[in-house]
Structure 1
Amino acid sequence: MMPHIITLTSTRKRCFVILLAILIPCTIFNFVSFPDMREETNLQNGIAELQAKLEHLHAKYISSQEEINLLSHQLAENSHILPDLQFLIGNGTSNISSIKLPSIYNFLPHFLDDPNSLRPAFVQSKGRSGVSMVLGVPTVKREVQSYLLATLKNLLDRMTPAETTDTLIIVMVAETDLEYVTYVAKQIEVQFPKESESGIIEVISPSSSYYPDLTKIRDTLGDDHQRVVWRSKQNLDFAFLMSYAQTKGTFYIQLEDDILAKKNFITTMKSFALQKISMKEHWFVLDFCQLGFIGKMFKCSELPWLVQFFLMFYNDKPVDWLLDHLISTKMCNLDKDSKHCKMAKARLWLHYKPSLFQHIGTHSSLKGKVQKLKDKQFGKITLYYGHDNPDATVETHIKPYKQYTLQKAYKGESFFWGLLPQPGDHLRFKFTQPIFIKRYLFRSGNAEHPSDRFYNTTVEVMPENQRYVNKNSVNVTEDGYVIIGRFDAMGIAQGTVDRKYGKISVLRLTVHSESDNWAILSEIYIVEDEPS
């Protein structure tokens, strides 16, 4: 098969030369006619992007050639059953003296037990591909609280419309319980209908036969067996996710399901990557977060290096250590000291500052592990939003945690953090003087505790003049409050108050069901309307 590879390589070079022949005169013309360095930078980035996409196409070609090669060998081995096949495939593939290279089956032979072990057991996809940025978000069932939906919302909120059209988010539910996988996929579909329909978000899960018997793997590094199983499975999860993602786009970014991102992070990462390519810096990983494996960017064409390495040594060390060892193997000279090794590795592992991602999860997916690590380079996280609200007396029977009282939240000095709301609990805002309310906004949960929201909670008002209230309406409570809204699944309640109710003397929130979590109000915003 070597002639085909050589032909492609030379074809690729010719294509690139032709591109340069077309683009370089344009560069010179633009530089002479328009001495705006931004245009030259944009052109250089354009060439770098073309180069990265050519490498991606070449990797896809190699993958397809591998499949053809394997099929040819299989046909050759069975040519005695169909003799005419011998004529079609030629004599080259039937050479009995050819060697067979080791494959991943040598390291994970259980893959041979089930032909579907390397196929996703679940795929929710619109088939999006050819994008620049592929974000990999692995998630597992967490015993305490899930951060996944909040993480996806944050990622989407931090992208511009142009960025979303050039991005694919792959959520890998690393569980073999298909009922749970389907439940998570449905949650994502309901919470992000537009993104699911357009194909921005995909959901996959591995087959149960993908994993070896994890109870029988050997203990390493002196860790207890539970931890060894956890980190070994994580290595296998990452390898599966990367294998699925490698044909989908140009760059792959490894994320987690409990993070925050900075605004325009997609453009920042892509520009940094293209800048390094245009400067002929042959990087292997671009690092946009200092913690673990979060925010690590790779070229999709080079993901096979990682996948093979992770699968070979999945039982030996954590995933971030394996990445470090791979870079060390590529760059470090055993004849030199550690300082020389560190400098050599820095040529392949480039760091971007300040960090674009922050880890927010407190409860690890490893049972009993509390994860408090934060990336100090990310900067301060906004935990509440303060507003100048109308004068009011506020009260609630929900017990506050420490100093996080409802009074301080209403004044915009902090957020309210209440312990386990119960059915029938109220948060009441009684205005000093009745007012017309133009609109209201209540935001529950915050960046560090996204699941501490108000669930099944209504927004109600008490008009100053009761003659505006229809006592027989289904939207009126027994004590005369009019229900005007409720908190949605993301923990937000917002809307307007119809002026037909006149001035409002009290606004209150009413909890209708028991909550497994505490509840945070990170924003209270009541806008007073002018009298007509």
Structure 2
Amino acid sequence: LMHQSGRYLTVFCCYRSHYCTTMNCNVVDIYQREFLALRERLHSAEQENLRRSKELNLVLEEIKRAIAEKQALRDINRTWSSLSEETRLKLWNVSSSKNVLQLPSIFHHLPHLLNREDSLQPAVHLGQGRTGVSIVMGVPSVKREVHSYLTDTLSSLMSELSATEKDDCVIVVLIAEADQQYASSVADNLKRLFPAEIQSGLLEVVSPSVHFYPDFSRLRESFGDPKERVRWRTKQNLDYCFLMMYAQTKGTYYVQLEDDIVARPNYFTTMKNFALQQPSEEWMILEFSQLGFIGKMFKSLDLSLIVEFMLMFYKDKPIDWLLDHIMWVKVCNPEKDAKHCDRQKANLRIRFKPSLFQHVGTHSSLAGKIQKLKDKDFGKQTLHKGHANPLAEVTTSLKTYQHFTLEKAYLGEDFFWAFTPVAGDFIRIRFFTPVRIERFFFRSGNIEHPGDKLFNTSVEVLPFDVIQIDSKRTPKYHKKIVQIYSDKLLQICSK
């Protein structure tokens, strides 16, 4: 047994004598083979240790290099941030060229996006990321000073969808505000109001990063518009671009909507069938409303072209003018007259009648602007839906407007319309005989007068028998009871 270089080497010598018995010789052979095998295993273990030692050294070197690169990246970012946008764009072009041709990108039109890695990442994102649908509907929404129509718009869009249609579309709401606190509050409210729709993938909510928008203070005034309107229309163009870029891979068609509209029944299948029944694929826009940018359908494959064109001129003109210019470039001959151009554009822009969407908002997203735009092709909508109610006597302290009485509403003949209520006003329904109520439903406001709603209103029920107040016998409403009056009147909900 010898010690050499920190290792023990064991040497065994076997001397075979012709005097050994057969049995003794066999035992020696067995031990010799076992020790030879042990030596091989020790040698293999030594080689494995050497290999792992080299690997650990390599990992250590990689860690050191990564730390150095991270520090260098911090230094580069500090230097990069100190450069002007023009200089950054030139450096980016040079560094990415590598002697090959480069296509223009969003960074050429919005060079400020190079400042932050997350400038194109949504700051808020709710939904399941549904793809492969027939139609994606985009609904941009901004903060309005007076009244928001967003939840009413979403309720209208989703209530007119069948179960099958809900599985074949996505509604994407863009909260187009740089104020992340406001965007998060709107998203939380939509999550509370439409949890099933978000969970199923029907509804998605996104908001752009605060770094997505450029500095609007340096915009030049044009076409006689004041600076605030130029800023409004410029930001609106970027909102449309963000929404289209987000939606383009989700479905076959994309429909641009607004956040202050109502929809016709069966609007989804009508749009889908109209698109599929087009005799040619040459169309560019299918219009389902004649107002503004409402109800405009595009093929998702065309969105890249549209976004690229919009980004080139987003500071110069509003969206409807830019769309008209795209079609002019595609089909109009400068040597022909305007009438010929209009005929050619009519092949790209096809109108569907009657309109499937109606504009209901009066307070524009542009501060201080009142607009009472109505689509005349939308037609008359049913302003009430009759129900079979139990026999009862109905009375009210509200002053009835014209012939729109409470009695007619209860009988399902017409809607009830009254002058503005004040504190203490009531609507009373007194049943002739006791009625077991399983549910009740009150709806206020309609398409033509969405603002005429009941606000700050309570629903109270007077039980026929005091025993009914017992929570064990009325578990359905137990958690909704907020007050029991001296005359056993239950307030079971309020608005």
TM-score, normalised to structure 1's length? 0.67
- Give the deviation of 1:269 after TM superposition: 1.4
**What's the counterpart of residue 484 of structure 2?**
477
CA distance in 1, matches of 2:394, 2:129: 54
Counting matched residue pairs gives: 390
The structure carrying a bigger strand percent of its residues is: 1
Counterpart in the other structure of 1:129: 131
Contact 2:257/2:293, CA 8 A, preserved across alignment: yes
Q: What displacement does 1:380 show?
A: 0.9
- Asked if the contact 1:230–1:366 (Cα under 8 Å) also holds between the matched residues in 2, the reply is yes
For 1:169-180, list aligned pairs within 5 A. 169-180=171-182
1:361-386 Cα offsets, whole Å, 9 max, x none, are 11111112122111111111233335
- Matched letter for residue 458 of structure 2: T
Does the 8 Å contact 1:475/1:482 carry over to 2? no
| Contact persistence 2:238–2:311 (CA under 8 A) | yes
Gaps of 5+ in 1: 1-92, 489-532
Distance in 1, matches of 2:149 and 2:300, equals 27
Counterpart in the other structure of 2:383: 383
**CA shift in 2, pair 1:435/1:234, >3 Å:** same
Show CA shifts across 1:186-239 (max 9, x none).
Answer: 221121111111111111111111111112211111012221111111111000
The answer to whether the Cα contact below 8 Å between 1:384 and 1:415 also exists between their aligned partners in 2 is no
Alignment CA distance shift 1:131-1:471 (3 Å)? closer
Q: Residue in 2 aligned with 1:304?
A: 304
Alignment partners' CA distance in 2, 1:176 and 1:449: 32
Q: CA deviation at 1:256?
A: 0.8
**Equivalences for residues 318-337 of structure 1 within 5 A:** 318-337=318-337
Does structure 2 retain, via aligned residues, the 8 Å contact 1:455–1:487?
no
Quick one: distance in 1 between partners of 2:405 and 2:369? 29
Q: Could you report, residue by residue, the CA deviation over 1:69-90 in whole angstroms, capped at 9, with x for unpaired residues?
A: xxxxxxxxxxxxxxxxxxxxxx
- Percent identical residues: 49
Name which of 160, 163, 183 aligns with 1:161.
163
Residues 454, 487 of structure 1: 8 Å contact kept: no
**Alignment match, 2:73:** none
Contact kept in structure 2, 1:364 and 1:371, CA below 8 Å: yes
Matches within 5 A, 1:92-491: 97-276=99-278, 279-386=279-386, 390=391, 392-396=393-397, 406=406, 409-410=409-410, 412-419=413-420, 422=423, 425-430=425-430, 433-436=432-435, 438=437, 440-450=440-450, 452-455=452-455, 457-463=457-463, 477-483=484-490, 485-486=492-493
Per the TM alignment, residue 292 of structure 1 is displaced from its structure 2 partner at its CA by: 0.7
What is the one-letter code of the residue matched to 1:394?
Answer: T
* Mapped contact 1:383–1:415 kept (Cα < 8 A): no
Matches for 1:517-532 after TM superposition, within 5 Å: none
Q: Write the distance in 2 (CA, Å) between the matches of 1:420 and 1:228.
A: 41
Displacement after TM superposition at 1:449 (Å): 4.7
Partners of 2:229 and 2:494 in 1: how far apart? Answer: 39
**Counterpart secondary structure, 2:377:** coil
CA drift of 1:263 comes to: 2.0
Q: Tell me, in whole angstroms, the C-alpha distance in 1 between the residues paired with 2:466 and 2:178.
A: 58
Change (3 A) 1:120 1:475: closer
Q: Name the stretch that deviates more: 135-144 or 93-102.
A: 93-102
Deviations 1:115-155 (A, max 9, x none): 32222111112121111111101101111111111111111
Name the stretch that deviates more: 135-144 or 113-122.
113-122
Distance 1:354 1:304, change over 3 A: same
Alpha-carbon distance in structure 2 between the residues aligned to 1:120 and 1:342: 39
TM-aligned CA distance change 1:466 to 1:156, over 3 Å: closer
* Corresponding residue SS for 1:129: coil
What's the CA shift for 1:354?
1.5
CA 421–174 in structure 1, closer or farther in 2 if over 3 Å, else same = farther
Given that 2:404 and 2:414 are in contact with CA atoms closer than 8 Å, whether structure 1 keeps it comes out as: no
Amino acid at match of 1:245: A
C-alpha distance in structure 2 between counterparts of 1:216 and 1:327, whole Å: 30
Deviations 1:333-369 (A, max 9, x none): 1111111011100111111122111111111111121
How far has the Cα of 1:478 moved from its partner? 2.2
Residues of 1 paired with 2:100 and 2:466: CA distance? Answer: 93
Find the aligned partners of 1:349 and 1:316 in 2 and give their Cα distance: 23
Residue 437 of structure 1 and its aligned partner are, at CA, apart by 5.7
Mapped contact 2:394–2:427 kept (Cα < 8 A): no
Distance apart, 1:94 and its partner CA: 9.9
Pair 373,462 (structure 1): closer, same or farther in 2 beyond 3 Å: same
Letter in 2 for 1:392: E
Deviation readout 1:489-517 (Å, 9 max, x if unpaired)? xxxxxxxxxxxxxxxxxxxxxxxxxxxxx
Quote the Cα distance in structure 2 between the aligned partners of 1:244 and 1:466. 58
Q: Deviations over 1:274-296 (max 9, x none)?
A: 222xx334111111111111111
Question: Structure 2: which amino acid aligns with 1:436?
Answer: V
Q: Which residue of structure 2 lines up, in the alignment, with residue 53 of structure 1?
A: none
Residue pair 2:123, 2:208 contacting (<8 A) in 1 also? yes
2:116 and 2:98 map into 1 onto residues whose CA distance is: 28
What value does the CA root-mean-square deviation take over the aligned residues? Answer: 2.9
Separation in structure 2 between the aligned mates of residue 369 and residue 180 of structure 1, nearest angstrom: 22
* Alignment gaps of 5+ in structure 2: 1-94, 472-477
